[in-house]
Amino acid sequence: MDLPGYYEYHCSVKVIAGHDALEKIPGILQDLHACRPMIVTDKGVAGAGLVDIVLGAVKDQLVIGAVADDVPPDSDLRVVNRLAALYREKGCDALIAVGGGSVMDTAKGINIVVSEGADDLMKFSGAGALKRPLKPLVAIPTTAGTGSEVTLVAVVKDHERHLKMAFVSYFLLPDVSILDSRMTLSLPAAITAATGMDAMTHAVEAYYGLSKNPLSDATALAAIRLISGNLVKATRNPSDREARLAMANAAALAGMAFSNSMVGMVHTLGHATGSVCGVPHGVCMAILLPYGLEYNRHKREAIMGELFFPMGGSDVFARTPKEQRTDRVIAYVRQMNQDLHDASGGRHARYFKEVSDREGKPAVPRERLPDIARTALGDGSIFYNPEELDYDDFLMVLEAAWEGVALDSGRIRE
């Protein structure tokens, strides 16, 4: 293995995982010297009864200062500022995020505003804006995808400017992350599938990206093995508690990997598609991941081939000649999307022309692809991608991903 000449790896989050992990919350808050937390969640999560499960687990051992359940998809700058004001008004001293990436990132945003004694999250955009530890934050993920429960990132959308902004700081790492299988049993099949492919993308892009290092490699490989064995299972049988817990672990492992190795063009284009067309993040990741592999393979052939070990298992890996392994990895990811499509009754989209909005209209009209390509030019994740991309490259990838055809290798940069 080629070791990088220098790297840093940081994950200070205490992870508590198990089928009954929520019961630890009162002790956790005591350790963090907090006694009046605000619960941040969204309507879908609260409606699925998950906040009640959390409250049931803490029984009367905790005073809850406030419950805010109006986080929108992809979070929102104004909502963050409003909920920060609510936190202060109710005299809270800690945050418990119960939800997917949108909720966890909102809680991180609120934490910046309340800890800094400010009124607007925008004042803290840009590197190095945070200088000191924030209030205690406990993350309880209810999707198994983003890994936000262990990452130093908060993605918050400015809905007015159609922009997704990333806030990055070690101070954004939650103090504790609780992975409890009860939190994902209610996750619908299509969201299970797409968010699981988000975790897969974190692990795969971290592993072949320019900032890979041995510690993030280890977590990425462990994540890919768990996802390969459990994502289709959990999508097909939502009440499989073992598969749910395995996926919760996988998402956290993949989060640790990418939080330290960053991601690449799949995220660049995914962020842009999410911003321009409002497509959920995991859906973009699932569709674009095969193209990230195809576009970069000439730079990372041997490294990508190693991914066939956690995907196919040791026996099949050993039987597959080295020069065929990357082909098998790409085929594996495409087949996984197909299996998830079947397991979700056709609701998991395999290409962009298949994605529809709430009214059933195409969510990614072909004529918007140039807008997406232009937006992608401004996304920082591209710096960690092995091969360069300009506007024409982005457009070429988007067109293939829209149609669902393999990339024309003759048109990829050398």
Of the pair 71, 369, the CB lying nearest ligand NAD is at: 71
CB atoms within 10 A of CB 322: 11
Residue 409 and residue 395: Cα distance in Å, rounded? Answer: 15
Q: Out of 146, 228, 337, 344, name the contact with ligand NAD by CB under 6 A.
A: 146
Q: Name the phi and psi angles at 250, rounded to 5.
A: -60, -45
Q: Report whether 20 contacts 233 (CB < 8 A).
A: no
Residues 252-311 within binding reach of ligand NAD (CB under 6 A): 281-282
Q: Out of 155, 203, 279, 400, name the contact with ligand NAD by CB under 6 A.
A: 155
Q: Out of 11, 24, 40, 42, name the contact with ligand NAD by CB under 6 A.
A: 42
Residues 164-183 within binding reach of ligand NAD (CB under 6 A): 164, 183
187 touches ligand NAD (CB under 6 A)? yes
Residue 238 and residue 123: Cα distance in Å, rounded? Answer: 41
In the complex, minimum distance from the CB of residue 145 to ligand NAD, in angstroms, rounded to a whole number = 5
**What string of DSSP letters covers 127-155?**
TT---S--S-EEEEESSSSS-GGG-SEEE
The number of residues that bind ligand NAD (CB under 6 A) is: 34
In the complex, minimum distance from the CB of residue 269 to ligand NAD, in angstroms, rounded to a whole number = 13
Q: Report whether 39 contacts 50 (CB < 8 A).
A: no
In the complex, minimum distance from the CB of residue 185 to ligand NAD, in angstroms, rounded to a whole number = 7
153 touches ligand NAD (CB under 6 A)? yes
One character per residue 197-236, x = contact with ligand NAD (rule: CB under 6 A): -x--------------------------------------
Residue 250 amino acid letter: A
Q: For Cα atoms 364, 329, 6, give the angle at the middle one, nearest 5 degrees.
A: 95
Structure tokens at 187: 């996750």
Torsion sign (Cα): 210, 131, 128, 271: positive
Where do the DSSP E strands lie in 19-143?
37-40, 66-68, 94-99, 137-141
Q: Which stretch binds ligand NAD (CB under 6 A): 67-75, 313-321, 339-347, 351-359?
A: 67-75
191 touches ligand NAD (CB under 6 A)? yes
Q: What is the rounded end-to-end Cα distance, in angstroms, of the chain? A: 24
101 touches ligand NAD (CB under 6 A)? yes
48 touches ligand NAD (CB under 6 A)? yes
99 touches ligand NAD (CB under 6 A)? yes
3-state SS of the chain: helix, strand, coil percent to 5? 55, 10, 35
Q: Which stretch binds ligand NAD (CB under 6 A): 147-155, 237-245, 352-360, 370-378?
A: 147-155
186 touches ligand NAD (CB under 6 A)? yes
Residue ranges that bind ligand NAD, judged by CB under 6 A: 42, 44-45, 48, 50, 73-75, 99-103, 105, 142-143, 145-148, 151, 153-155, 164, 183-184, 186-187, 191, 195, 198, 281-282
